[in-house]
Structure 1
Amino acid sequence: MRRGSNLPAVGTYNQTLVLDLIRRSPDGLSRSELAERTGLSAQTLSNVARKLVSEGLIYEGAPIIAGKGKPRIPLLLRPQARYAVGVHLDPAVDTIVLLDLSGTVVAHREHPPQTGLDAATLVAGLAERINALLDAALVRRDLILGVGVAVPGPIDARRGAILEPPLLPAWHGVALRDDVAAATGLAVVVEKDVVAAMVGELWTDAEQQLNEALYFYYGAGVGAGLAVDGTPVHGRTGNAGDIAHLVVEADGPRCACGQHGCLGVAVAPERLVAESEGIAVADLPAPSELRLRLGLLAERARRGDTAAAALFERTAASIARAIVLVNNLLDADAVVIGGPMWARIAPAVAAPLERALRENSASTTTRPIALFESALGTDVTSLGAACLILDSAFTARPTDLMIDPR
């Protein structure tokens, strides 16, 4: 549990700390409960609570009488106080969501990916979709904190630009952050998809089980979102989490990097569908159709098709190897698994994955790995993108204690 500070220079930290505790407590917390949990003095806590109430972020609930003494007055989150937009640009579908302060989805839309357009037209189209969502939701613009955009890596975090992810060629080199901000009039954050997914899980982790955790991301590509001490790991350039070239299948398919059996190609949806249908990867359909076929393949395995089941047994073993290797490095023991494609294969691969993790002899950690399904489902990346905005505004970080010398 993070502790607060009574120093006057860290009011922002104290406010975000208190707000974070309140939003994670559906029944609210009294001032005395907050003082006990944060270590703040009664006077400091009272000042912080008054500030949050005046800003409309929290409100006082009805007094609760429990025995003798003064009634307990809970402080509760006002979810409609602020909102955040999340965007996930994906080869199969572009998803845009609007979340309130509690992380509840207020609006949700999916669009076919934009392709074959110049950068200005791409940005204008994305801004139009964002604006249409906000107009339909009837939310005041001054309550919108900003827009989080999650994309496959690599990214240029300094410029807020997409570099050259192989499956999003239309967006290569587009300076998303500044261009979308100019087109919408809203603050914009651009983040790698796996980092956004991890942020989303942390934001909705009411019991704080994921302070040290790995998010295994299964979508158009694979990746790892990492959390250390409750804080998402971005890396020096914003590109942490690339695990696609871990070798998990010695005699597996050749990767573009020259190795055989890299995780990215070994468990790729394209490989599963192509092998099940006896066709070349080059002859596969568009990503949206690929999702459908992958789901049908998993259903065949679930119903007893031995050939389909064997494909997912092999996939589970490869994913388990990757998870164990990364967890040996991180020593997290908590692993969340999800992503846009995960729901398609989960019915066929979840049970063999649990078994493969138990039986893997390469684990060097002293506790067994606890595997969690993503709390955010298929839309984890767009939801996580919105949570980037909420997290940056309302999660207490030790770095907030730094005093600006200006």
Structure 2
Amino acid sequence: MTAGGLVAVRRGTNLDRVGGFNDAVVLDAIRRTEERLSRVELAEATGLSGQAISNITRRLLDAGLVREAGRQRGNGLGKPRTLLELEPTGQYSVGVHLDPAVVTVVVLDLTGEVVARRRVETPYGDNPDVLISSIAVSVEEAIEEAKAPRDRVVGVGIAAPGPIDVERGVVVDPPNLAAWHLVPLRHELRARTGLPVLLDKDVTAAASAEKWAGGPNGRGSFVFFYLGTGIGAGLVIGDEVIRGSSSNVGEIGHVIVDPDGPVCYCGRRGCVGETSQPRYLVQQAVQAGILAQGIDLDDRHAVDAAFAELCSLASGPGIAREIVVALAERIAKVVEDIANLLDLERVVFGGPHWEQLAPFFGDAVQAALEERFLVRSVHPFEVAGTALGADVGAIGAASLVLDQTFSPNPSVLLPELAVER
């Protein structure tokens, strides 16, 4: 912690050539503080000179990105200091979360608050052109609902199931969207909306959302465990979102948790992704006689309705509860391996199905993970649910746009320092 309750901000540099980086350092410091900061406290937190801070804050005020927010109570020894905060209406970003079962669209203001949302079922059949057109309509409706001036909407972030090709903006072959093969989603959505578009993986976006707006859950080192039509793991280590060499980190679906389990499309048995699918759990329930026969397991919407019924039945004792508790135990085994490998502080669960599954990831899972966490004598391992609800993927996608636009990135600074050397 530093001045004003500030958490882990980057340090700036007083070299004139990196003004853009320093602007982002200051803006990020204002955003991440727990209390409003004065210019003096910004200088202390960022390592920038008083003159640099004065110049930067003047630019940010003129751009409408920050505003003055009253004065700090003085000690009677000098002039009260003017406090600064973000101007919520200064910029907006749109986030789209593409899950095979549902598409969520949100608009965030500059402070990260959701000011509009749309949530629609993914059209049956997976046709990319139909789905992208539907997303574009939802984006326009959400911007209109937010009353966001078009020139202040800085872009659209898309959180999509992997694998993805970030460089080309392409969704490659997501296992639960059968018709999607090398779909140029970024280009197609930009063509339909006229806005800059950023594509990232769904679990990376969710982890970024938790880091951006999840409060204590989003600090330090944690795994965001995504529970939707598929599963995945987003990673934040030392307050940095980890993407991997091709931005496809988090593909954990093929960790084997039941050698005698069902055959996965990869050819092996008992992969956690396959045994966590709602259709597999619904199939188990049908075979056990606790759900009606005749459910079309290839109809995602029918499966989701049956899965919701299964979770409701599982609130009491019986076979339904055994099925869902067994799922929680399989997932806990994977979380255990990730936590021990990377020495994490917590797991944050979220995704479209988290609300239904949360009751089964309580004390028993916490106790099991604590017991199996190898460095528990050094620090505890926590189990938490996302603070952002079912919108976490879409919020993450929008926050990635804000991050790219405003947050300091070391790669911006390194070439400049190389020249100086």
TM-score between the two structures when normalised by the length of structure 2: 0.89
* Aligned positions of 1:7-406 closer than 5 A: 7-25=15-33, 27-69=35-77, 70-116=79-125, 119-207=128-216, 209-278=218-287, 283-284=296-297, 286-302=299-315, 304-360=316-372, 366-403=378-415
How far apart are 1:104 and its partner, in Å?
A: 1.0
Deviations 1:115-164 (A, max 9, x none): 55865554333323322322333221110010011111111212101111
Moved more, 211-220 or 364-373: 364-373
- Greater displacement, 146-155 / 325-334: 325-334
- CA contact under 8 A between 2:133 and 2:192: conserved in structure 1? yes
Distance 1:282 1:288, change over 3 A: closer
Structure 1 stretches of 5 or more lacking a match? none
1:361 Cα offset (Å): 6.6
1:253-294 deviation per Cα after TM superposition (whole angstroms, max 9, x unaligned)? 222223222111222222222212327998436333433333
Instruction: Give, in whole Å, the separation in 1 of the partners of 2:98 and 2:72.
Output: 46
Unaligned runs of 5+ in 2: 1-7
Secondary structure at the aligned position of 1:20 is classed as helix
1:398 and 1:208, CA in 2 relative to 1: closer, same or farther beyond 3 A? farther
Q: What do residues 280-322 of structure 1 show as CA deviations (whole Å, max 9, x unaligned)?
A: 99843633343333333233332x2232222233222211110
**CA–CA separation in structure 2 for the residues paired with 1:97 and 1:26:** 24
> Structure 1 residues 121, 296: CA separation in 2 closer, same or farther (over 3 Å shift)?
closer
Q: Which moved more, 1:362-371 or 1:266-275?
A: 362-371
Residue range with higher mean Cα deviation, 181-190 or 105-114: 105-114
Taking a change above 3 Å as real, the CA distance of residues 119 and 339 of structure 1, as seen in their structure-2 partners, is closer
**Contact 2:206–2:396, Cα closer than 8 Å, also in 1:** yes
Tell me which moved more, 274-283 or 91-100. 274-283
How far apart, in 2, do the equivalents of 1:126 and 1:209 lie?
A: 28
How far apart in 1 are the matches of 2:12 and 2:294? Answer: 54
Supply the distance in 2 between the matched residues of 1:349 and 1:147 (Cα, whole angstroms). 33
Against the structure 1 CA distance between its residues 120 and 252, is the aligned structure 2 distance closer, same or farther, given a 3 Å change threshold?
Answer: closer
What is the distance in 2 between the residues matched to 1:322 and 1:25?
Answer: 34
- Checking the alignment, whether the CA contact within 8 Å between 2:105 and 2:394 is kept in structure 1 is yes
Report if aligned partners of 1:299, 1:348 keep a CA contact under 8 Å in 2: no
Q: Give, in whole Å, the separation in 2 of the partners of 1:284 and 1:170.
A: 17
User: Which deviates more, 211-220 or 59-68?
Assistant: 59-68
Q: Which residue of 1 aligns with 2:3?
A: none
Per the alignment, do residues 282 and 256 of structure 1 end up closer, same or farther by CA in structure 2, a change over 3 Å counting?
farther
8 Å CA contact 2:336–2:373 kept in 1: the answer is no
Give the aligned residue type for 2:189. V
2:105–2:139 CA contact under 8 A, matched in 1:
yes
TM-score by structure 1 length?
A: 0.92
CA distance in 2, matches of 1:44, 1:281: 69
Contact 1:325-1:362 within 8 A present in 2 as well = no
Q: In the aligned structure 2, how far is the partner of 1:252 from the partner of 1:24?
A: 45
